[in-house]
A and B are shown apart, each in its own frame.
Chain A
Amino acid sequence: MKIHEFQAKELLARFGVPVPRARVVSSPEEAEAAARELGAGQVVVKAQIHAGGRGKAGGVKVVDSPAAARALAERLLGRPLVTHQSGPRGQVVRRLLVEQGLGIARELYAGLVLDRERAQVALIASAEGGVEIEEVARRSPEKILRVHAHPITGLMPYQCRQLAFRLGLGKEQVTQAVALFTALQRAFLELDASLVEVNPLVVTREGQLVALDAKVNFDDNGLFRHKELAALRDEEQEEPAEVEASRHDLSYVRLDGDIGCMVNGAGLAMATMDIIKLYGGEPANFLDVGGGTDAKRVEAAFKIILSDPSVKAILVNIFGGIVRCDTIAQGVVAAVREVGIRVPLVVRLQGTKQAEGRDLIQASGLDIIAAETMQQAAEAAVAAVGRRA
Chain B
Amino acid sequence: MSILVHAGTKVVIQGLGSAGKFHAGTMLEYGTRVVAAAHPGKGGERWGQVPLFDTVAQAVEATGADAACIFVPAGGAADAILEAADAGIPLVVCITEGIPILDMVKVKHRLDPRRTTLIGPNCPGVITPGACKLGIMPASIHRPGRVGVLSRSGTLTYEAVDQLTRLGIGQSTCIGLGGDPVKGLDFVEGLELFEQDPGTDGVVLIGEIGGQSEEAAARWLAERPRKPVVAFIAGATAPPGRRMGHAGAIIAGGKGTAAEKVEAFRAAGVRVVMSPAEIGVGMQAALAGK
Contacts and interface: CB of A to CB of B under 8 A. Distances in A.
Interface string B105-126: 1101110000000000000100
Interface residues of B, number: 65
A272 B236 CA distance: 10
Interface in A262-316: 263-278, 283, 286, 288, 291-292
A91 interface: no
Interface string B171-191: 000000001011000000000
Interface string B143-174: 00000000111111111001000000000000
Nearest to A149: B105
Nearest to B253: A134
Interface stretch (B7-15, B60-68, B204-212): B204-212
Interface stretch (B50-58, B222-230, B270-278): B270-278
Interface SS of chain A: helix, strand, loop or mixed?
Answer: mixed
A283 B236 CA distance: 12
Contacts of A320: 138
Contacts of A273: 235, 237-238
Contacts of B97: 291
A196 to B, nearest CB: 13
A26 to B, nearest CB: 28
B237 A277 contact: yes
Contacts of B282: none
A269 B105 CA distance: 27
Interface stretch (A3-11, A15-23, A68-76, A220-228): A220-228
A342 B243 CA distance: 30
Contact of A374 (B237, B252, B276): B276
Interface string B215-248: 0100000000000000010111111011111111
B128 to A, nearest CB: 18
30 contacts: A114-B181, A119-B105, A119-B182, A120-B105, A121-B105, A134-B254, A137-B254, A151-B106, A219-B102, A221-B99, A251-B244, A264-B155, A267-B155, A267-B156, A267-B206, A268-B155, A268-B159, A270-B234, A274-B235, A274-B276, A275-B275, A278-B275, A283-B237, A286-B238, A286-B244, A291-B97, A319-B159, A321-B124, A321-B136, A374-B159
